[in-house]
Amino acid sequence: MNNFEYKNPTKIIFGKDTIEKLASEIPSDAKVLMLYGGGSIKKNGIYDQVKTALSASDVVEFGGIPANPEYAVLMEALKVIKEENITYLLAVGGGSVIDGTKFLSAAAVYEGDEPWDIVKNKVRPEKAMPFGTVLTLPATGSEMNSGTVISRKETQEKLAFGGPALFPQFSVLDPQVIRSIPKRQLANGITDAFTHVLEQYMTYPAGGLLQDRFAESILQTLIEVAPRVLKDPSDYEAAANFMWSCTMALNGLIQQGVPGDWAVHMMGHELTALFGIDHARTLAVIAPSHYKYNFEAKKEKLAQYAERVWNLTEGSMDDKAYAAIEKTEAFFKELGIDTKLSDYTSDYEGTAETIAQRFTDRGWKGLGERQALRPQDAEKIVKMAY
Ligand code: NZQ
Ligand code: ZN
């Protein structure tokens, strides 16, 4: 196991009817900017719950943050922060609203001229405006981590950055919010969280016995609750386990002391930037090809995953490892998620070359747990995913 330092300062307030606890988490003299997305919170009652909880606070609102939070929209919100002398941000939404808020928290105190530089140069902000979140969609883990992914249509870019100043001060997780989430987004959430665990687990044996079992238990729980959540999002027990699994999948815990991959995400982000495909779906497109292409390097963990998560005990290590990739793809398909790029666009020719060129231009010469995945490897993987 590798050495590590681990600190996660985000306070989690989890459970039924917890949105009402909001006010006690925000300083009473704060001027709050409440940020939200395309309006789902106005239909499902979450907006009213938040407004009621904050009735004694000084609150300004900014709605309209789109899925894959867009830089140009966030710059509008930044103007409001400056004009209204905002001191505290509150994200009410899924990963997109939370990520947008993280960017704003950094941009609000940024002293450079062009806030896009924070994203482009992967600045690790040391100071940031404090913010909290009310999570409305389990998926990304953004509610308990310090990473964010920002999109810019103008340049067809989608880039991640983060740093310790970007942990939420608190996050309210009320599993009842799941009731109004469309099936497509529920399936996305399950797939995203599942892949987050795979990115931190499907590497090589590193002696992190507990980390492995944490990871496997999150995968098993997601597999168990997925059909229940999709069938009946008002099943509170299933919803609660789904929500907590998504948070635990990417709050830093399972990655301590072990190598991480993240190449699936890096390639997936390009597919969203180029085609607007939902984040989770890009992962389902890339992951099977990625694991097949890197089979030799990953087969020990693939076989362990086969045995412990899918109960595939027959055959050689290679047989089990291969069967586990097939099982994973079948699981995504059962959720209603297509796993080939051509299922999403007919305009895919040249995509692999474009992505490889972008990686080269950015100096991303070696991705993955051994920093060995070169742009030309990414090109082959994306082609396999056509
Ligand atoms: O915009 P609104 O009206 O809120 O509707 C949203 C949106 O259309 C809707 N929704 C959210 N909660 C709902 C709801 N609809 C009904 N009832 C509710 N309770 O769902 C749609 C998708 O929302 P979005 O926030 O985009 O989804 P998600 O949470 O999957 O976030 C995706 C973004 O997070 C990034 C992705 O790249 C993508 O930009 N990620 C962030 C990560 C992080 N910060 O750690 C890690 C991830 O790997 C990921 O990259
Ligand atoms: Zn993800």
**Is 148 in a helix, a strand, or coil?**
strand
For 11-176, CATH number?
A: 3.40.50.1970
**Per-residue confidence of the chain (386 residues) as pLDDT tens digits?**
999 999 999 999 999 999 999 989 999 999 999 999 999 999 999 999 999 999 999 999 999 999 999 999 999 999 999 999 999 999 999 999 999 999 999 999 999 999 999 999 999 998 999 999 999 999 999 999 999 999 999 999 999 999 999 999 999 999 999 999 999 999 999 999 999 999 999 999 999 999 999 999 999 999 999 999 999 999 999 999 999 999 999 999 999 999 999 999 999 999 999 999 999 999 999 999 999 999 999 999 999 999 999 999 999 999 999 999 999 999 999 999 999 999 999 999 999 999 999 999 999 999 999 999 999 999 999 999 99
d(CA 177, CA 135): 8
Residue type (1 letter), 168? P
Residue ranges, comma separated, of all CATH 1.20.1090.10 domains in the chain are: 183-384
Residue ranges, comma separated, of all CATH 3.40.50.1970 domains in the chain are: 11-176
Residues with CB under 6 A from ligand 1: 37-40, 44, 67-68, 93-97, 99, 136-137, 139-142, 145, 147-149, 177, 180-181, 185, 188, 192, 250, 265, 279
Question: Domain 183-384 class?
Answer: mainly alpha
Nearest Cα residue to atom 16 of ligand 1: 181
The DSSP annotation for 97-145 comes to: HHHHHHHHHHHTT--SS-THHHHHTT---S----EEEEE-S-SS-GGGS
ipTM value of the model?
0.99
Nearest Cα residue to atom 50 of ligand 1: 149
Yes or no: say if 4 and 256 are a contact pair by the CB < 8 Å rule.
yes
Yes or no: say if 272 and 68 are a contact pair by the CB < 8 Å rule.
yes
d(CA 226, CA 53): 31
Nearest Cα residue to atom 15 of ligand 1: 181
Ligand 1 centre from 117 Cα, in Å?
24
Ligand 1 centre from 4 Cα, in Å?
30
At a CB cut-off of 8 Å and minimum separation 6, what does 8 contact?
Answer: 144, 145, 167, 251, 252, 253
